[in-house]
Structure formats: C-alpha cells, structure tokens
Chains A and B, each alone.
Chain A
Amino acid sequence: MKISAISTYLFVVMTSVSCAQSSENMAKSPESVDFTAEIVIDNLSVPWGMVFLPDGSILVSELSGELIRFKDGERTNITNVPEVYFRGQGGLLDLELHPDYENNGWIYITYSSKEGEEKGGNTAIMRAKLEGNALVDNELLYKASPNTTKGQHYGSRIAFDNEGYLYFSAGERGERDVNPQDITRDNGKIYRLHDDGRIPADNPFVNDETAKKAIYSYGHRNPQGLVKHPVTGAIWDHEHGPRGGDEINIIKKGKNYGWPVVTYGINYGGTPITDKTEMEGMEQPIHYWVPSIAPSGITFVTSDKYPAWKGNLLVGSLVFQYLELLEMDGEKVTNRIKLLEGMGRVRNVKQSPDGYIYVAIEGKGLYKLVPKS
C-alpha cells in the first residue's frame, strides 16, 4: 500500500515534471462531420507529392517514380522525370511550385538519387519546367551524400518562405549516431537555398570551413512535413520520431532540434534511446505525439471554405490512417480531431489555390473535401 502510494506519487510528479505537454495525448473523433470526401483521382499507389497548376491540372508524384498529370479527367504520364533509387522509403518524393510559377514555370522536385560514386542513394532536389508532357531544363540543385543502401529516412519536403528562399528536408538515412548532430555531414538536416540552388550568404554555417553550407537547421530525424506559416511566414516542420516522439517544430536558423540526443520516443524494441527529453542548446518541439501517428504532409487551412478549421493545421497519419486536425492557439496545440477515420494511410494534404483541401491516400487516390452546404 505504502509502496504503491509512493510510486503513484513519484509517477505523477515525474510525468508532470518531464512532460512539456499533457500526457493525455489523445485525438478525438469529431462531433459532426461537415464535409464529404469526393474522389478526384483513383488508382494511386503511394501519392507522395502534389501541386496545383494555374491551368487547373494537378501533378502527382508516385513514390515508384511516375509523375502524373490529371486534367479534365484525363491522366498523362510526364516524361524525362529524374531516375529514382526506388528502395525502402526512397523514390520520387515532393513537388512544389516556384512562388512566381506563373512567370517562370519552375517546378521543384525531391527524390532519392543514385548519383555519386557509392552504391545506394540519397536525397536530391532538382527543378525543371513542364513543356507539353515532358520535363525540360532539368537542373540538379543539391544532392546529399554519401549514398547508402539503407532503406529509411530520406525526408523530404519542400517549402518556400516569403523572401523566396527554398527549404527542403533530408532525413538521417538510418545513421542516427553519425549524421544528425554533425554539420559537416548531410542528412538529418533542413536546408536553405536560393531558388536557383545557390547557397545564401547569410546561411548559418557559411563561415564554418568544414560545414555543409546549405544547412539551415540540424538534429532532425525524418521530416516529411514542411510548410510556411500563413501569418508569421516561419517555416514549420513535422518529423517522424522512432516509437513515439513524432514532433512539430518551428524551424529557426542554425538551431539544433536534438535527435538523437533528446527525444520523446524510444527504440522500436522498447529500449530507451536516451533518458533526456530536453537539453540546453536544443530546441523543444511545439508539439509531440506519443504514440506516433507517423505524420506525412502538412498544411494550414487559410480558406473560408471550412470556417471551423481556419487557422488550424492538417496532418496526415500513416499508421492510424486518418487526417488529423490540430486546433491551434498561436504556437500551441489546443485540440486534436480525427478526420477521415479508417480511409487509409494519409500520405499528403494540401489546400488548392481555390481553397479546397485535397487529401492523398495510399492505395486509393486523391480526395477533395467538399463542405456540406
């Protein structure tokens, strides 16, 4: 009795001391569903990236390496797409349009590339223009190295900020003790480039002889969500933790996000990685998930089509197979709601230029969320 009372006391004290957020980390089902999910494109396998072109067509990248354009119900495969290293989590990854796409036509693409001496692959970013049904003027902007045959953690999402800088993420490629904390190495990083691939003169590590100068922040595990905040203009990421410890972070210049020195997660086998969840000089996430939802894709709802969601975040869950609505109060998550429960692994979510939310689900296709009027 006495021992159990003490241990209960210790448990309560420890959880309240160690957790920056409530340990009650549950997403709820919604009270009412105010939309229907209409299928727009069916028969997609792993629809990783998507962009909406001004002519009304949608480009979707399939992990296997296909780039597909959908227009007026017609499906066309785009040619001259970079060759991908299709293994494990590698393949054709994210798509993003240049902020001035209408005038310059640049499409940005991340993928796993075999380029280089070593066997295997690593994350690369390129840009190209679409002419007819082919990519043209292909330019490789950055390629992380060295290659490895490991299957995991390529990142890689793309975002532009208000100044036109290009950000993309590369995961730690299964080398957590080697890559993320070392700024002389690629991987486990978020990079910042000019739109043409040049390294900005004010990047945080440009004056460090040995550093990879494209690095903007480090100590990341596997970020598969990157988005600009619609009001502050800051870049936010989310990243997969191991077992537990998925995070949302606000990306700041030169900062260390701690992996694997601090984490809210444990090894897949249940053994600890570290006993630390925070440390001086390392950034805290604004939100973490225990258990892991396996987040992929992220978008802020800014349109007026869904009044209850405006200003909030949408994130796909691969493991629990739903779309998560995170209600926000500034930088704080106040409530979590499960949408599209049981529909499948949600790989990506984006708001189209006309304000509708599109959700890409593995093995199914692309859905448009249409509000009930």
Chain B
Amino acid sequence: MKQFIIGYVLVVGIITNVLLQDKELEESMQRGSEIYADFCITCHLDTGEGVESVFPPLAASDYLMNKREESIFGVKYGRSGDMVVNGVTYSNSMMSMGLEDEEIADVMNYILNSWGNTSDKIVTVEEVSGITR
C-alpha cells in the first residue's frame, strides 16, 4: 500500500511536471511565432524552408538541431562566413536583429518545435543570457 502511494504520487508528479512544461513551451512558441513573423519570415519563409544557397532552411536543418548554442549565438549577435546546412554551403550573413533574450528564447522554441522539428529541452532566458561573445 505504502509503495502504491509513493508510486502514485511520483506518477502524478511527473505527469503534472510534463504538462506544465508543455504549457510553458506552448506559450513560449506562441510568442515566438509572432517574433518569427516579424523578424525572420522575410528570409527563412513561412515554412522554414529558406531559399537554397541563399538563406539556409530551419525546417529539418541539421545545423539548427545539432548546433543549439551556435544557433542561439547567431540569432543573438548575428553571424557571417560560410556555414554548411544539410550539405549545402551558405556564405550569406545574418545581422543581429536586436532581440531581447526573452524574445530569442521564444523564437528558438518556435523554430525548434515547428515544421516537423522537435526538441527535448525548452530554451530558457537563462540559457540565452549565458551565451556571450
């Protein structure tokens, strides 16, 4: 009986935690989608497919999914120089959009969890703040 109660509490606790995180992620993604439509869509397009050889894709992008820190850095400070995404080299530059850390976390959560992309770990403001030059 005692084991059952402990087990029950544990299970409920885990489910609650997951649901809360889901809600947090969902809200962050919602805010992120507005940032995306405002700052990113002109180049990376509505479906995140970008323009081959010009603007790299975000949807099913190996760079985005495997290089989380570099991706956040790029959104925060801009980036230039060659980058290889899904085997294609992009030599364009992206300037810093001047977003606040909270907005960067939101838009990262949006692009990491849209168009078939999924990420296990939510991007937090603290994580963005911790990435510096």
Selected contact of B54 from candidates A46, A63, A150, A319, CB within 8 Å:
A319
**A321 at interface by CB-CB < 8 Å:** yes
* B6-14, B21-29, B90-98, B122-130 - the one binding chain A: B90-98
Q: Are A268 and B41 in contact (CB under 8 A)?
A: yes
Q: Dominant SS at the B interface?
A: loop
Q: Are B45 and A268 in contact (CB under 8 A)?
A: yes
- Report the Cα distance A86→B39, complex, angstroms: 13
Known contacts A45-B93, A362-B93; is A174 also within 8 Å of B42 by CB? no
Q: How far is the CB of A171 from chain B (nearest CB, A)?
A: 12
Q: Give A86's nearest chain B residue, CB to CB.
A: B98
Q: How far is the CB of B37 from chain A (nearest CB, A)?
A: 8
Q: Dominant SS at the A interface?
A: loop
Contact with B along A43-87 (1 / 0, CB 8 A): 001100000000000000001100000000000000000000111
Interface size class of B (residues with CB under 8 A): 20 to 34
Q: Are A88 and B97 in contact (CB under 8 A)?
A: yes
Q: Are A321 and B54 in contact (CB under 8 A)?
A: yes
**A164 at interface by CB-CB < 8 Å:** no
User: Which residues of A sit under 8 angstroms from B120, Cβ to Cβ?
Assistant: none
Q: Are B95 and A151 in contact (CB under 8 A)?
A: no
**B99 at interface by CB-CB < 8 Å:** yes
Q: Are B51 and A319 in contact (CB under 8 A)?
A: yes
Scan residues 38-59 of chain B and give those whose CB is less than 8 A from a CB of chain A: 38-39, 41-43, 45-47, 51, 54-55
Q: Are A151 and B97 in contact (CB under 8 A)?
A: yes
- Report the Cα distance A90→B96, complex, angstroms: 11
Q: Are A268 and B38 in contact (CB under 8 A)?
A: no
- Report the Cα distance A46→B37, complex, angstroms: 22
- Report the Cα distance A85→B51, complex, angstroms: 28
**A254 at interface by CB-CB < 8 Å:** no
Q: How far is the CB of B133 from chain A (nearest CB, A)?
A: 15
Selected contact of A46 from candidates B91, B92, B95, B99, CB within 8 Å:
B95
Q: Are B97 and A87 in contact (CB under 8 A)?
A: yes
**B80 at interface by CB-CB < 8 Å:** yes
Scan residues 75-93 of chain B and give those whose CB is less than 8 A from a CB of chain A: 80, 91-93
Known contacts A45-B95, A319-B54, A321-B54; is A88 also within 8 Å of B38 by CB? yes
User: Which residues of A sit under 8 angstroms from B43, Cβ to Cβ?
Assistant: 319
Q: Give B41's nearest chain A residue, CB to CB.
A: A268
- Report the Cα distance A151→B39, complex, angstroms: 6
User: Which residues of B sit under 8 angstroms from A320, Cβ to Cβ?
Assistant: 54
Contact with B along A170-190 (1 / 0, CB 8 A): 000010000000000000000
- Report the Cα distance A270→B41, complex, angstroms: 12
User: Which residues of A sit under 8 angstroms from B42, Cβ to Cβ?
Assistant: 152, 268, 294
Q: How far is the CB of A42 from chain B (nearest CB, A)?
A: 13
- Report the Cα distance A268→B48, complex, angstroms: 11
Q: Are B99 and A87 in contact (CB under 8 A)?
A: yes
Known contacts A45-B93, A268-B46; is A152 also within 8 Å of B38 by CB? yes
- A-B pairs with beta carbons under 8 Å apart, 13 shown: A63-B95, A88-B38, A88-B97, A151-B39, A152-B38, A269-B47, A270-B46, A319-B51, A319-B54, A321-B54, A344-B91, A345-B92, A345-B93
Given contacts A85-B98, A345-B93, 15 further A-B contacts (CB under 8 A): A63-B95, A87-B97, A87-B99, A88-B97, A88-B98, A151-B97, A152-B38, A267-B46, A268-B41, A320-B54, A321-B54, A344-B91, A345-B92, A362-B93, A363-B80
Q: Nearest 5 CB-CB pairs, A to B?
A: A87-B98, A363-B93, A269-B46, A151-B39, A268-B46
